[in-house]
Chains A and B, each alone.
Chain A
């Protein structure tokens, strides 16, 4: 898959990925996080090979988190994940991310359907 950069339009911090997944993306926050909230990433994964994981990184290469199933059927979606984002991940109301799939010790671009949805969510915290 060619390297692509995509940016969300308007105010929706959401990607619904019907086709190939871009390796990098920019999500725009509709508003700043309020007091008592943090912004995290909500990622919905499709079917993944056993042991594979989706790795989410920030532009500086820092790993934000991963989506990897434990057990279950590899022919079924791997589920939904909340990936914590550090405060420095948000710059000017935007979050830039890079998404790879790690399988058998090597990284590759996500295949069609492996990443189904990516969005920023506001999580109430203490």
Chain B
């Protein structure tokens, strides 16, 4: 059962929350990100491609000793990209997100955002990518492997010597024990070749730019629908039955288990475009970033679908921590320096790069609005799924969940003018719900359950309107508690929020049972 707003009665601090919901939802409808990634075939997308080409030329002109050099940037992918496992989505989100900032900086366009290649609508290499520096066969690119090796041998050796022990350890897992192993992989089978002369820079040609029939099927709307359909991020066992490919022990693991999204459209587009795109030096082809922008967009489509259905958007339970904590150590920022956001969890949402997506294929598969949160849930993308650490609760014993909210979001919500954060909580209510109510706390002190005078107290929600059957959902504003905790120096924005739900029975419910056994089954934190 899902409660309508009439069916739950707020008391205490939550009263203001419920009355404030409509205006918060209305605000969400007008909220937008700072940067907008749009279809490259639109006029806005074409304008972005013009800036993109300016940035590419600047990166090509940078010396090979500069980590932002076009080829050096492509080597980040060669050295570190995960494929066929559950880190495929977040790693590429981080990679193209940092790259986008570099192009924004070098192109001189402060509004630059990567346009996406909606290959479902355009199953061919778009015309601009046969022109100028958007074409890897252009004279701006290095013409032979020998010339490439001559220019980059010494800079890559110097780069290798600068690696940290943790980076070296990751590369060894990938089979690269020295920089010579890398060069061998770039040049020779069975891993190579990865470098291609202009005549082989792509398999598709300007005269015949369309995908083959099989690849068209793999990017078709039917396949995209199937890719968006999985109910979980990570499927049961180790096989990629979920959205995000299979579980692996580390992100460079080569025992690939492809989800539909990665195995079908992703792999086939790479291979059908061919040339550089067919192997791990693929970011040499400028279309790589539009391809992966579309993959990232479809992850966002899936995430919004999950949010609207009230389902988890990330791995759950014991799977969440190892997924979030996997180190990504090779990204660089727009100045060429290593980034500080170096775990997969930092790229679980799109908030860190502050972008959103324009319309594209697959949007229609986002389900109907959530029955409780309605239009607000349908519009926001800023939702964070929690992990239920202890679901069972009774009087004096709270349920505990951990919710990893982006640090940037918590910092923003800590200010009086920042976004309002709500906890969307799903519970299995007591058998007799009469007089039952739920007190919600954020990061409460240990050993002091139910202290409503403490800054951690967020509010109370009471059941109203008779028996509850099945699950009950409610939303509680937690921003006041977050701000109070911040003021009390009791909030660490880089740590998950501990959200406690403590049930109790109101004394006026004379006929009710004394026990108030409840179970928290799901929780999300969102901004509205």
Q: A123 near B264 (CB under 8 angstroms)?
A: no
A17 at the interface (CB under 8 A from B): no
Which A residue's beta carbon lies closest to that of B77? A71
A2 at the interface (CB under 8 A from B): no
Q: A66 near B230 (CB under 8 angstroms)?
A: no
Complex interface: chain B residues within 8 A of A75 (CB): 190
Given contacts A51-B278, A63-B214, contact A81 B311 (CB under 8 A): no
Given contacts A63-B213, A65-B264, A66-B218, contact A126 B257 (CB under 8 A): no
**A83 to B226 Cα, complex, angstroms:** 9
Q: B189 near A74 (CB under 8 angstroms)?
A: yes
Complex interface: chain A residues within 8 A of B263 (CB): 65-68, 79, 81-83
Task: Count chain A residues whose beta carbon lies closer than 8 angstroms to a beta carbon of B.
Answer: 37
Quote the shortest CB–CB distance from B259 to chain A (angstroms).
6
Chain B 77-94 near chain A by CB (<8 Å), digits 1 or 0: 000010110000000000
Q: B190 near A69 (CB under 8 angstroms)?
A: no
Q: B271 near A68 (CB under 8 angstroms)?
A: yes
A42 at the interface (CB under 8 A from B): yes
B111 at the interface (CB under 8 A from A): no
Given contacts A50-B278, A65-B217, A70-B278, contact A81 B258 (CB under 8 A): yes
B229 at the interface (CB under 8 A from A): yes
**A68 to B272 Cα, complex, angstroms:** 11
**A74 to B278 Cα, complex, angstroms:** 13
Quote the shortest CB–CB distance from A18 to chain B (angstroms).
20
A34 at the interface (CB under 8 A from B): no
Quote the shortest CB–CB distance from B253 to chain A (angstroms).
11
A86 at the interface (CB under 8 A from B): yes
Which A residue's beta carbon lies closest to that of B281? A71
Q: A125 near B257 (CB under 8 angstroms)?
A: no
Given contacts A42-B239, A124-B232, A126-B231, contact A51 B271 (CB under 8 A): yes
Which A residue's beta carbon lies closest to that of B240? A82
Complex interface: chain A residues within 8 A of B217 (CB): 62-63, 65
**A75 to B120 Cα, complex, angstroms:** 32
**A42 to B278 Cα, complex, angstroms:** 24
Q: B268 near A80 (CB under 8 angstroms)?
A: no
Given contacts A71-B280, A124-B230, contact A79 B213 (CB under 8 A): no
**A26 to B260 Cα, complex, angstroms:** 22
Q: B214 near A79 (CB under 8 angstroms)?
A: no
Complex interface: chain B residues within 8 A of A50 (CB): 189, 278
Quote the shortest CB–CB distance from B425 to chain A (angstroms).
21
Complex interface: chain B residues within 8 A of A82 (CB): 239-241, 258-260, 263
A8 at the interface (CB under 8 A from B): no
Task: Count chain B residues whose beta carbon lies closer than 8 angstroms to a beta carbon of A.
Answer: 47
A7 at the interface (CB under 8 A from B): no
Given contacts A69-B256, A121-B241, A125-B231, contact A55 B214 (CB under 8 A): yes
Chain B 253-289 near chain A by CB (<8 Å), digits 1 or 0: 0111111100110111011001000111010000000
Complex interface: chain A residues within 8 A of B271 (CB): 51, 53, 68, 70
Q: B241 near A123 (CB under 8 angstroms)?
A: yes
A78 at the interface (CB under 8 A from B): yes
Which B residue's beta carbon lies closest to that of A38? B229
Complex interface: chain A residues within 8 A of B274 (CB): 51
**A86 to B309 Cα, complex, angstroms:** 23
B327 at the interface (CB under 8 A from A): no
Q: A84 near B191 (CB under 8 angstroms)?
A: no
Q: A70 near B270 (CB under 8 angstroms)?
A: yes
Given contacts A82-B241, A124-B231, contact A72 B256 (CB under 8 A): yes
**A123 to B225 Cα, complex, angstroms:** 14
Among B232, B260, B279, which residue has its beta carbon within 8 angstroms of that of A84? Answer: B260
Give A40-80 interface residues, CB cut-off 8 Å to B: 40, 42, 50-51, 53, 55, 62-63, 65-80
**A62 to B254 Cα, complex, angstroms:** 31
Given contacts A65-B264, A84-B223, contact A73 B258 (CB under 8 A): no
Complex interface: chain B residues within 8 A of A125 (CB): 229-231
Q: A80 near B257 (CB under 8 angstroms)?
A: yes
**A76 to B232 Cα, complex, angstroms:** 29
Q: B190 near A73 (CB under 8 angstroms)?
A: yes
**A68 to B190 Cα, complex, angstroms:** 15
**A36 to B254 Cα, complex, angstroms:** 31
Among A72, A77, A121, A126, which residue has its beta carbon within 8 angstroms of that of B229? Answer: A126
Complex interface: chain A residues within 8 A of B259 (CB): 82
Q: A36 near B231 (CB under 8 angstroms)?
A: yes
Given contacts A70-B83, A70-B271, A123-B230, contact A79 B241 (CB under 8 A): no
Which B residue's beta carbon lies closest to that of A102? B214
Q: A66 near B268 (CB under 8 angstroms)?
A: yes
Complex interface: chain B residues within 8 A of A84 (CB): 222-223, 226-227, 260, 264
**A117 to B160 Cα, complex, angstroms:** 40
Given contacts A65-B217, A78-B256, contact A70 B266 (CB under 8 A): yes
Q: Can you list 5 pairs linking A and B with CB atoms under 8 Å apart?
A: A76-B254, A79-B255, A80-B84, A80-B258, A123-B230
Beyond A36-B231, A84-B227, 12 additional contacts (C-beta under 8 Å) are: A38-B229, A53-B271, A63-B213, A65-B218, A66-B268, A69-B256, A70-B270, A70-B279, A77-B255, A80-B258, A83-B264, A84-B260
- Counting from the closest, the 7 A-B pairs by CB-CB distance are A79-B256, A84-B226, A125-B229, A124-B231, A75-B190, A70-B267, A71-B280
